[in-house]
Structure 1
Amino acid sequence: MPLRTHLTVLQWSAALYADSVAYKIPKPVSDDGQGQYHWEDVTYREFLLNVERSARYWTSMLTKQSIPPHSVVGLWLGGLAYMDVLHILGIARAGYIPQLFSLRLPNPEIIFELMKRAGAKLLIYDVSYADVVHGCHVPTLVAVDIFSTPDVQAPLAAIFTPERSDDIAMVFHTSGSTMGSPKLVPCTYGWLDSIISKANAISVPCQPGRQDVIVCMGSMCHIGQTLTLIGALQHGTCTVQPTQIAFSSGELKQMIRQCGLNRLTQFATFLSMHLRNSRNDPDLLALLQGLDEVLFAGLALPQDDEDWARRNGLLLRNLFGNTECGAMLISVGGRGSDSLFLRPIEGTKYGFFPVTPSSAAEETTHYNVNAPLLELVILSESGDCPHMSLRQADGHFHTGDLFSEVAPGRYFFRGRDDDWIKSENSLRCDTRAIEDNVRATCGDLVAECVVVGYGRPSPALFVEPKGAIEGEKLKKDIIRRIRHFHSRRYMHERIVDAKFVVIVPKGSLPRTATKGNIRRRAVEEKFKEELDRVYGTVPDFRTSS
């Protein structure tokens, strides 16, 4: 059976759902800046024709640059706009291998280095980056609006059919950095075929016979939205483009009312904003209650937000994945007490292998979990096991994601392996548990927080404050509120002295580009001198006489 690709899926869907709406594109109602929009429809037939127009344009442009077919081509785009989708799919349809970059990578040198490592022959960039691409080592072309250029009148070659399942279809990169640079994530055609199966399984319509309407969850330069779109195409689902990834609750209301949005898919960080707003907005709460599904991904919801949503009847569902594998685990969903426990997506072959026990693993969590820690491992025989360059010596892909099995085949996420830091005597500390406690007890004081202290005697807490409380008072208030929690922990896990609480400006903690997660190891690096002072390894010259 031939391998399926995102392009063959689009071609099939355009034939089956030709007149159904594939995309809704936002247009401002006026120029008064009031944030009111209407959405223009693009049918499945029109979507396919637009992708083919993009492919003809890029075939012409890359031929002029003498870029041979099947070359890697970098695309540095925002990835949210409909035109970005056309560029990405158009490059693939023209027979090239897209290497995708988000606009949020701050340093063009990082992009140029990643392109060299992937062997890219050309860079297509958003016009807003015209001033910074001049140092690129390969030719560059601006990503124009293809509808503002004449339609190239030339036949397209057939959709590329790979000879081998390990041929490369596209190249992503991780949203976090290792040794100062993101990792390349080459995606093979065999991997892509598996992704198509998984996307199909998680995107089954909520009500047979009725078209689902979803919203873009992020940039097409990342696997999350790529998988979401591939799933939508297979079921004739309509995708609404928001004006930004972190769209406002007001815009969410418009999309539900005007576009018929019935399935909300968001990273948990952004969903939390709507849940918080719904506490004081009965209209928003009623609209959320009327959705067929509220699916979140990227990280766990804060416990108070999850509790609020459950108490108020929202149909929550949790999707767990990463760049290397796409979606891996999904919850049953619904309102039951165990509805957010995760299970592997059908057709995958995963292992859950024990890791070194720690004292924290023996503690009871919110879900009354009292089970060993297990690492999720993508076995080599699973179709979604990533490229060989990303696997460990045993041939499998070790995710570093830790779980407890709460029932046969049902799992509760316990944080990443790097959420379990080791102290200077190699004892493990569950940083996520500490952070969750801070959020639960100090939610009115703390906007965001992260626990660090790898190789240190005990952990330290970095806090971005919510208000304007004086620093020393804020530290003492936090210590007072978390004291009971820490009184039950081993010595190497405790934060009991205000000097181990570090207050930093709001927004200063390093975050991942895609999901906004705080990067623990990057915090350790950025604030190393501050940590050295906290732990007394260097003198604090600010207080020396």
Structure 2
Amino acid sequence: MLRTHLTILETSARRAPSAIAFKVPESDVSGSISRWRDITYSQFLSDVELTASHWSRVFLREGIPERSVIGLWMGGYSYSDLVNLYGVSRAGFIPQLFSLRLPNADVILELLMKTGARALIYEDSFESALQSWPLHVFRAGSIELAAGRSSIDLPPLPSVQKEEIAFYFHTSGSTSGSPKLVPCSFQWLESTIRKSDQICAPRERGGLDIAVWAGSMCHIFQNFMLIGHLQHNACIIQPLANPYTSEQLVDIIQYCGLNRLNIFGSFLSNHLRNSRLDPKFLSKLASLDEIIYTGLPLPREEEAWAYSNGIKLRNVFGSTEVGALLVSIGGSGLDAGLLRPTEGVAYKFAPIASSAAVAGPHVSTARLLELIVLAESPDCPDVSLRNPDDGDFHTGDLFQEVAPGCYVSEGRDDDWIKSESSLRCNTKAIEDNARAMCATLISECVVVGNGRPNPILVVEPGIGVDNNDKLRVDIMRKIRQFHSRRYLHERIGSADMILVVPRGSLPRTATKGNIRRKAVEELYQFQIDKIFSVSR
């Protein structure tokens, strides 16, 4: 029988029913945390089953059969969100997950139509946008978990087939105006369970870790880490805010006993910068058994500084489609930051054409390799996401092999950047739209913003066009409709996010004259920093 997130929960609750599964903050009238409420594994299982009974009753009343797709449009940062997700799954339905970072109801409906979804569970803030929907819609609300079981008895967990769908996620960047569906099969889920078990195993044999909520349950990383920690009866702390400040992190370490930190690389960078100025905070970070980070890689100087100051890092290199792909060796040796595949997968690293030219001067003598997930690998994504020519999944991520079986990342071969929360943004789509809509206003443009909350559109004005505030407003007016359909992290949300530079000033390659995105980012770093300091 294939393992699932639900069998993992049942097994862990039987093994250690009184172990603390979650610490949930309770705040006072001032918004400060008054205490942390403990939720045991047995209570978590009971809450999931009660929620499953609730949704079984609701869907039965509406004539929605089991194995139907049910959308969940929610923040994904709270215990109640998690219980709703696992409850829908336990009731025998297929969750399709949308985060609040995708606030366009029309796009949500289009994606639900693609999966044949029968209903949507949503947070209150979107009620007005859903009044005329053709689907059943239900407010998530707060299910009364203390009310006892409903009259519906849940059947035992059914056996599942490896090719059946367990979840639908979505890419964090939009293609052709909409995110792509990421169907996740039970075979993929079994592979995720195996990989997350390896990554989340306690550093001390027999120990019970205390970790922290890493992101939204509507995205892969938090789901992956939660499944890993559940297998080891770890405790997960729900922070008061996400991302949390360095002061809040200190409180979590001090009052909750945090020893394993899961975090996105861009947020970790902020904490590392603060720790350079605060020896007490640095000692707190160094006291952790491990810091697992993902998304944007740390700058190599920053990573080296962390290792030299006793901070125990491990980099999990992953993607929405696959989950974790590579994991750094960790420890304190010279090879601590090198990446290796997890056990039980089938990957290959294929040389790319003209790798020396693509790599740039810092790796001009090295061979760049693209990471490819082979079709026979149990974590290979759905066939709809694979290369149609060879049936494999081409990640587009480039690496150098610096020792046998050990790799360092050298970026991507496409036109995507990652936001500060490690969500992807399709720069080419934004640039193409700007060129099409603003042909008389701009002569050239490029999108930058790697590691930033939002992208920045950098433009050179067209011939005879004045560089003034009106130009930025006119550009924004023409591109606004396109951006209204995009995730918040990939939107040009206002004219303030448009930077106009002199004609011909954008750095270009010598041969083809292509704009060098990274060079633009470096050249205009001061102006970009200023934009975000004002916007925040």
Residues 1:27 and 2:52 are matched in the alignment: no
Deviations 1:372-409 (CA, angstroms, capped at 9, x unpaired): 11111110000000111111111111111111111110
> What 5-or-longer segments of structure 2 have no aligned partner?
417-426, 429-445, 460-491, 493-498
* Residue of structure 1 in register with 2:482 after alignment: none
| Counterpart selection for 2:179 from 179, 182, 189 | 182
Contact kept? 1:377, 1:397, Cα under 8 Å: yes
Contact kept? 1:212, 1:238, Cα under 8 Å: yes
Distance 1:488 1:215, change over 3 A: farther
Distance 1:173 1:300, change over 3 A: same
| CA apart distance, 1:16 | 0.7
Residues 1:11 and 2:6 are matched in the alignment: no
| Counterpart selection for 2:398 from 397, 402, 422 | 402
Residue type at the aligned position of 1:267: F
Provide the C-alpha distance between the structure 1 equivalents of 2:144 and 2:152, rounded to a whole number of angstroms. Answer: 16
* Residue of structure 2 in register with 1:371 after alignment: 366
Q: Secondary structure at the match of 1:174?
A: strand
Deviations 1:114-145 (CA, angstroms, capped at 9, x unpaired): 00001000000011221222232201000021
* Residue of structure 2 in register with 1:262 after alignment: 259
Provide the C-alpha distance between the structure 1 equivalents of 2:522 and 2:222, rounded to a whole number of angstroms. Answer: 42
Contact kept? 1:392, 1:398, Cα under 8 Å: yes
| CA apart distance, 1:489 | 11
Residue type at the aligned position of 1:13: S
Distance 1:448 1:181, change over 3 A: closer
* Residue of structure 2 in register with 1:157 after alignment: 155
* Residue of structure 1 in register with 2:531 after alignment: 506
Contact kept? 1:329, 1:344, Cα under 8 Å: yes
Deviations 1:154-175 (CA, angstroms, capped at 9, x unpaired): 210111322x311111110111
Deviations 1:237-271 (CA, angstroms, capped at 9, x unpaired): 11111122211111111111111100111011111
Contact kept? 1:38, 1:258, Cα under 8 Å: no
Distance 1:59 1:347, change over 3 A: same
Contact kept? 1:249, 1:274, Cα under 8 Å: yes
Distance 1:499 1:313, change over 3 A: closer
Residues 1:111 and 2:108 are matched in the alignment: yes
Provide the C-alpha distance between the structure 2 equivalents of 1:323 and 1:509, rounded to a whole number of angstroms. Answer: 32
Taking structure 2 as the reference length, the TM-score comes to 0.79
Distance 1:452 1:399, change over 3 A: farther
Q: Secondary structure at the match of 2:350?
A: strand
Residue type at the aligned position of 1:85: L
Deviations 1:212-261 (CA, angstroms, capped at 9, x unpaired): 11111111111111111110111111111112221111111111111110
Residues 1:245 and 2:270 are matched in the alignment: no
Alignment of 1:188-337 (within 5 A): 188-337=185-334
Provide the C-alpha distance between the structure 2 equivalents of 1:281 and 1:76, rounded to a whole number of angstroms. Answer: 39
Residue type at the aligned position of 1:357: S
What is the percentage of aligned positions where both structures have the same residue?
44
Of structures 1 and 2, the one scoring higher in RCO (CA 8 A, sep 6+) is 2
Q: Secondary structure at the match of 1:177?
A: strand
Provide the C-alpha distance between the structure 2 equivalents of 1:372 and 1:450, rounded to a whole number of angstroms. Answer: 32
| Counterpart selection for 1:144 from 141, 166, 173 | 141
Q: Would you say how many aligned residue pairs link Structure 1 and Structure 2?
A: 463
Contact kept? 1:363, 1:370, Cα under 8 Å: no
Q: Secondary structure at the match of 1:305?
A: helix
Taking structure 1 as the reference length, the TM-score comes to 0.78
Contact kept? 2:188, 2:380, Cα under 8 Å: yes
Provide the C-alpha distance between the structure 2 equivalents of 1:382 and 1:21, rounded to a whole number of angstroms. Answer: 35
Contact kept? 1:402, 1:417, Cα under 8 Å: yes
Provide the C-alpha distance between the structure 2 equivalents of 1:396 and 1:203, rounded to a whole number of angstroms. Answer: 27
Residue type at the aligned position of 1:24: K
Distance 1:7 1:316, change over 3 A: same
* Residue of structure 1 in register with 2:464 after alignment: none
Residue type at the aligned position of 1:14: A
Provide the C-alpha distance between the structure 1 equivalents of 2:313 and 2:457, rounded to a whole number of angstroms. Answer: 28
> What 5-or-longer segments of structure 1 have no aligned partner?
423-430, 440-445, 454-463, 465-470, 511-545
